Amino acid sequence: MGNSAYLKKYVENHPHNKMAWYLLGKEYEASGQAGKARYCYIQAGNVYEAFESSKIPLPEEVLAGYKEELLQESHRKEKRSRFLRKLSLALLLALLMWIPSAAHAPGDRQAAVPVHAVDAGAGDDADREEASEEPLKPAGDEAGGGAPAGTPAFAEPAFTAIGFAGDPAGTQAAAVSGLLALQRQTATPLLHAAALGMEQAGDWLVWSDDLPVAYGLEQSPAEGRTALQAYDARACECAPPDSAALQQRARQWIPQQESLGVLASAMIHYKQANGAWPASLQDLAGPYPDNWIAGTDSTMEQAFQPLLVQLKRKGVDGATGNADAPEVLAKGMAPGQQPFFAEPYEMIVDTDTHTLAVVSGNVLIRSYPVGLGGSQTPEGTFVISEKVINPNGKDNGEFGSRGMQLSDTNYAIHGTNEPDSIGKDESLGCVRMGKKDVEELFDLVPKGTKVRIGKGILPKLKNVPAERFALGDRQDQTNPHRTYHWLN
């Protein structure tokens, strides 16, 4: 059914195109939807007969079955929509139970804000009754996270990111689930929280520097009011309120999370290589060959110590809550809030699409076009074992201004003095990149980053921001004492 959406739209706009009806019918037939296929074949008329060498099915033979299939499909969609509405409501109720009122005195056992207004779009009364049958425990009764009752609330907006689902109810459920997870990990109640929306590309969620605000949660303890507000017209099918102020805050949060992802990844790789955590940021930002990261920034400087506490705590007991680590990682983040990128950065190279991506879990952070060597580019899993600026002393030589060696091999990811080779198979096996791309990648991925090379594992997608990620306070990362012989 890869072309069915396009064909459906096409026949809507060109209802007299019999070939389009025939092709749509073949799509439906391949997916087992016989009733719809027959309907399309009737519309195709003599085109069907020409290609199939048989008479088209009579309308009276098809109509009953076609109507039945449409009815069944309608029931399936309604059933899924009702399930997602119920799930969303259940998650919302759980979220409300996790939000202690800032107006309560310390020791007060009341755990939830009375709900006077919830803009959740959660469905009808039957849905509400069914979704709330199971009792929910207040935050203080569960281990591993959340703020104790009486903790002062955090007034600044806190952010997370979710994937846009295929329907409004699914997006709402994803948003409430993400906001619930955000509330549980912080060491203070959140008065304002927002979920940013990531587009989907196959199995990947696409990160960008301008993620739109999809949902917001606001709590007013003085009024005893909590509201879940949709800001995306696709999610609420409404005219949403102005999100300009939230969007401006989000644009500050997004690059912070990229920096925190770099820092956390580097700290984990350092621990794996050395058996101990780095004692300071300078342990990671040493001169070559100790350049785990390509430089530092203000976010990393503020976050190093509290992030180290978080990572050590996870390493000891696997916990995710941060009651013992209430420090703030970055300006605008709530005390105890964790980096959004929970998994270390990895790189994936798809030899079919000539694409290199930086990912964390199923989130695609960057995606660049690359030049490869066809069958000479090795498939498998590697790590970045060495990072060097101006390999062989040149920024315009055959390896460009940056090089990242793949394990202990003669292959590397590097720049090139043949930019026209990007997107082609003209190297001897290395991964070639454009100058701006390889320089941004060098700053994004620490030494020790895993690199997976294979076929058909990435969408053909270029995903780079207008303003590139770049670290400051750079140390010397040249290596004038070695001549590199990578298989360029």
Cβ distance 194 to 157 under 8 Å?
Answer: yes
Residue 178 to residue 305: CA distance in whole angstroms: 26
Active site (annotated) includes residue 236: no
Termini Cα distance of the chain: 41
Residue linked to tokens 């709900």: 115
192 is known as an active-site residue: no
Cβ 326 vs Cβ 336: under 8 Å: yes
**204-206/192-201 β-pairing:** antiparallel
Of the residues 192, 269, 354, 414, only one is catalytic, namely 414
* Maximum alpha-carbon separation in the chain: 83
Q: Exactly one of 104, 192, 430, 481 is catalytic; name it.
A: 430
397, exposed or middle or buried, with CB in 10 Å at 0-12, 13-18, 19+? Answer: middle
- DSSP lists the bridge partners of residue 291 as 285
Q: Which residues contact 57 (CB under 8 A, 6 or more apart)?
A: 38, 41, 42
Kindly compute the dihedral angle of the four CA atoms of residues 390, 393, 395, 398, in this order, to the nearest 10 degrees: -100
Backbone torsions φ then ψ of 9, nearest 5 degrees: -65, -40
CB atoms inside a 10 Å sphere around CB 255: 16
Side chain identity at residue 374, one-letter code: G
- Helix 34-44 × helix 18-30 angle, to 10°: 160
List active site positions.
414, 430
